[in-house]
Each structure stands twice: as structure tokens, then as C-alpha cells.
């Protein structure tokens, strides 16, 4: 049972059925209430009309014993002392009127119906009847009635009340008929609603099932080049399919980047490891031939490459700089350039005081990577500038070298990319410096871009939020 109602189709069908059932029950109760009220009003109208007709006769001077009350509608006339002055034929018992008696009481001496000496004018009929409910037994059959009571003053000035009843059997029968029809039709209607909802939902979710099957196949095959089918509609399911394909595309590109990264890292590590092993093997066989300085350089190169790879791995994992004291970029530039006083290519600075939040170590590595890159390609000098632009701190590193072709200005930030393929690996590095610099800039909420420098070479601009 849990599996059955665990599907969207089953839950949708059940939910629609419950909603329709509640709505139909509420509507049915309202319909029955309105029908019962209307039929009760009709019974009051009939009872009031009968009572008014009898009251008019009483007010007109017709004697009680001469009233033709008939036997279809129960009528009872009661005076102020609750004495029954007249009743309709075949009325055997009554409740809900002025008296429970159904036997007329003779008038006291001097108040005989045939005595016209007590008055000769017409009586008066009350304009507003009052209504109540009760029962009456007519010809041995007891039923519920709606009673209308009208006060009237007869021709002799005596106040009496005329009670006339209208049966409620019609109301009860009509309400019962409608109720039974609802009870019979409701289950059938709910079955139709459940079936239609099930079919419509199955048709609507068919593309979702196709997406699920394709995703399961992609997971099983690990083939990220496959895509889920996109339905021809323009609804939520189609948008889900397109978003899923976009996610698969991004995932495929990420996996490809990871594979390329691993392959390039393995390739870059192979060269210094092989060189170091060769030197150590030669040193073990011929100690006098051991190139200790070369071995140390290879170890340093491996150490730097391992540190770069570790930093990239942390950045790929989403590591962001932790909060701390603001980093003064002008002081950071002065510290970095103080270590490069004896370099082949001189570096001059044009700094202004500005501080940014972030990791001092990572920003120092970005600065070092940019200066290393500029010195590697500069002809005669490198310029480092820091300025404050309100919400942004800008750090520029420019050289007077050959510059970066416009078509390659984004590619140089990719990992293991070196535009000068003929440059030796030892001089050119592994091609991770600029990639690390941009990743760190992005993690700090900034940007790193390259354009032509006024000196004629390349100008790298690092923008960080202050």
C-alpha cells in the first residue's frame, strides 16, 4: 500500500478525489439545506393561505358550526381560554397548536353561535401569521405538519386563533430523494474523478519518467555525453529537462576539466620526478657525479607544484578566505618587491594606501605569480600599481614585453596553458600561476583580466572589493 501511494500519480488522484469529495459533500449539504428551506417555506405559504381563508370566514360572521373546514387540511380554531371552537373533519389528534383537544367545546350560555344579538358587524383578521411545527393524525395517519396561526376577531367581538396545517411529507420525500441520488452518484463521480486524474497525471508525468530512465542509464553507464529527452511542450517538465541537460553539460565539462587536470598534473610531475630519480641513481653509482644543486632545484620545483596543486584543489572544493584583519595591498606590494631587488628585471611600484578583506597568504601568492609572469616576459622593466576606486581596490602589474594576443587573453587563465610552447619547462613553470591567480580573485569576490599595457606589453588588472 505504501508503494502504491508513494507515486505522484496515486497521490494526485487521491488528493483530487478527496478535494472533490469534500466539495461535493459540502455542496450536497448546502443543496439539501436550501431545498428543505424552500419546501418548508412552501408549506408555510400553503398553511398560511388556508388559515387566512378560514379566518376571513370567521371574521365575516359565519358560525363555527357552519364552517366547512374540509378533511384535506387539518384546521383548529381555539379561543382565548384555549377552548376548541371548531376542528376539521377526521382530525383525530394534534400537537403544536393552541390545544391538544380535537373536540369542539359548546359555547357558554349567551354566546351561542346562532345568537346574533351579541353583535352584527364584521370581525378583524390579523395581517401577520405565526408559524410553528407539530403533528396531526388524520384518518389514522400521523404526520408532521407546519402550522400557521392567525388571530381573528369574530363578528361578536370574540378573539380566537385559527390554526391550519400543511403536511411536511412532500418536503421529507423530496429531500430524501435528492439525498439518495447524491449518495448513489457520489461514489460513481469520485471514481470517474480518480480515474481521469490518474490518466491525466500519467500522461503529464510520462516525460518525467523518460527523464528518470535516461538519468538512470547515464548513472549506470557514466556516459555524461548523453542527454535526457526534452518534450515539445513549454511547461515545467520541459524546463526541467532543459535544466537537467544544462546540468549534465556543466558536469561533463567539469569532469573533463578534472581529467585534463589530473593528466596534466601527472605529466608535469613526471619530468622533475624522473630527473630527480636519474640524478639520485647516478649519485648512488658514482657519488662524484651527483649534481646536488640540480637535485635540490627539482625538489623545490616539486614542492612548488605540489603546493599549487593543493591550493587549486582547495579552491575547487569551494574554499573561501576566512574573515580576519584587512590586508593592506600597498604594504603587501612593498614586501614582495623588497625580495626582488636583485632580479634581472627591475620592478617599480606606484602604490596608494588601500585595504581589502581576504587571505593575506593567497593574495601574496597572486601578487607573486603576476610579478613572476611579468618579469618572465618583460624586456626592461615591470610596473606594479595599487589605487583606491571607492568600492574597489585595483592592483595592476604591467610589463613592456610582447603582450598577450587578444584571442589568447582568456585562454592564458586555463590550467597548464603556456603560450610559448618552445619555452623550457624549467624557465616557464607548469602554467598554473595565472589560473591560481584568477581562482583566488574570484574566491575573494573580485576579477582578474588582462589587456594591453601603456608600456606595450601586458597589463594584468586585479580588482577586489574593499
- Residue 451 and residue 429: Cα distance in Å, rounded? 22
- Residue 53 and residue 79: Cα distance in Å, rounded? 18
Q: Grid coordinates representing 161?
A: 386563533
Threshold 0.95, pTM exceeds: no
What pLDDT, on the 0 to 100 scale, is given for residue 58? 86
User: Could you count the other beta carbons within 10 Å of the beta carbon of residue 400?
Assistant: 20
Lowest-confidence pick of 155-159, 295-299, 328-332, 386-390? 295-299
Q: Grid coordinates representing 121?
A: 358587524
Q: Is the CATH number 3.30.565.10 carried by domain 321-465?
A: yes
Sign of torsion over alpha carbons 43, 46, 49, 54? negative
Q: What DSSP designation does 342 have?
A: T
- Residue 200 and residue 393: Cα distance in Å, rounded? 58
| 117 CB burial (10 A radius; 0-12, 13-18, 19+) | exposed
Cβ-proximal residues to 147 (8 Å cutoff; 6+ apart), any chain: 47, 96, 97, 131, 132, 133, 134, 163, 164, 165
Q: Grid coordinates representing 449?
A: 583580466
- Residue 308 and residue 264: Cα distance in Å, rounded? 13
Query: For residues 373 and 433, is the Cβ–Cβ distance under 8 A?
Result: yes
- Residue 82 and residue 150: Cα distance in Å, rounded? 14
Residues 439-453 have pLDDT tens digits of 888 888 888 999 888
Res 233 pLDDT > 80: no
**Average pLDDT of the residues in 42-46:** 86
**Average pLDDT of the residues in 188-207:** 84
CA atoms within 13 A on the CB side of 278: 8
- Among candidates 86, 51, 63, 52, which has minimal Cα distance to 154? 63
Res 109 pLDDT > 70: no
The helix-helix angle for 360-377 and 329-338 (nearest 10°) equals 50
The model's confidence at residue 344, banded by pLDDT at 50, 70 and 90, is confident
Domain 236-314, CATH: 1.10.287.130
Amino acid at each position: 500500500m505504501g508503494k502504491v501511494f508513494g507515486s505522484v500519480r496515486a497521490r494526485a488522484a487521491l488528493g483530487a478525489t478527496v478535494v472533490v469529495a469534500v466539495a461535493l459533500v459540502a455542496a450536497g449539504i448546502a443543496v439539501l439545506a436550501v431545498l428543505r428551506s424552500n419546501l418548508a417555506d412552501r408549506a408555510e405559504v400553503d398553511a398560511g393561505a388556508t388559515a387566512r381563508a378560514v379566518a376571513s370566514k370567521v371574521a365575516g360572521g359565519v358560525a363555527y358550526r357552519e364552517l366547512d373546514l374540509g378533511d384535506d387540511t387539518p384546521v383548529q380554531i381555539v379561543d382565548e381560554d384555549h377552548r376548541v371552537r371548531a376542528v376539521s373533519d377526521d382530525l383525530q389528534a394534534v400537537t403544536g397548536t393552541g390545544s391538544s383537544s380535537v373536540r369542539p367545546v359548546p359555547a357558554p350560555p349567551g354566546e351561542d353561535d346562532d345568537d346574533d344579538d351579541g353583535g352584527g358587524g364584521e370581525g378583524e383578521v390579523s395581517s401577520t401569521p405565526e408559524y410553528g411545527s407539530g403533528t396531526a393524525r388524520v384518518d389514522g395517519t400521523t404526520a408532521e405538519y407546519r402550522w400557521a396561526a392567525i388571530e381573528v376577531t369574530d363578528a361578536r367581538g370574540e378573539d380566537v386563533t385559527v390554526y391550519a396545517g400543511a403536511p411536511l411529507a412532500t418536503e421529507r420525500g423530496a429531500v430524501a430523494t435528492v439525498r439518495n441520488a447524491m449518495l448513489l452518484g457520489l461514489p460513481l463521480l469520485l471514481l470517474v474523478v480518480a480515474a481521469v486524474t490518474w490518466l491525466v497525471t500519467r500522461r503529464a508525468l510520462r516525460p518525467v519518467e523518460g527523464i528518470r530512465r535516461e538519468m538512470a542509464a547515464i548513472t549506470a553507464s557514466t556516459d555524461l555525453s548523453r542527454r535526457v529527452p526534452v518534450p515539445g511542450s513549454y511547461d515545467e517538465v520541459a524546463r526541467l529537462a532543459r535544466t537537467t541537460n544544462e546540468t549534465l553539460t556543466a558536469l561533463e565539462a567539469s569532469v573533463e576539466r578534472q581529467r585534463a587536470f589530473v593528466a596534466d598534473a601527472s605529466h608535469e610531475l613526471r619530468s622533475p620526478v624522473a630527473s630527480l630519480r636519474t640524478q639520485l641513481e647516478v649519485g648512488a653509482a658514482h657519488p662524484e657525479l651527483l649534481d646536488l644543486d640540480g637535485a635540490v632545484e627539482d625538489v623545490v620545483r616539486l614542492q612548488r607544484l605540489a603546493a599549487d596543486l593543493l591550493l587549486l584543489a582547495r579552491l575547487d572544493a569551494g574554499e573561501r578566505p576566512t574573515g580576519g584583519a584587512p590586508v593592506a595591498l600597498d604594504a603587501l606590494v612593498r614586501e614582495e618587491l623588497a625580495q626582488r631587488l636583485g632580479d634581472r628585471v627591475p620592478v617599480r611600484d606606484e602604490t596608494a594606501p588601500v585595504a581589502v578583506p581576504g587571505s593575506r597568504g593567497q593574495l601574496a601568492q597572486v601578487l607573486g605569480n603576476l610579478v613572476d609572469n611579468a618579469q618572465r616576459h618583460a624586456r626592461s622593466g615591470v610596473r606594479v600599481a595599487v589605487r583606491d576606486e571607492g568600492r574597489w581596490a585595483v592592483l595592476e602589474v604591467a610589463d613592456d614585453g610582447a603582450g598577450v594576443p587578444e584571442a589568447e587573453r582568456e585562454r592564458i587563465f586555463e590550467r597548464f596553458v603556456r603560450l610559448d610552447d618552445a619555452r623550457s619547462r624549467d624557465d616557464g613553470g607548469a602554467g598554473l600561476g595565472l589560473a591560481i591567480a584568477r581562482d583566488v580573485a574570484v574566491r575573494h569576490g573580485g576579477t582578474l583580466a588582462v589587456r594591453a599595457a601603456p608600456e606595450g606589453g601586458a597589463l594584468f588588472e586585479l580588482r577586489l572589493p574593499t
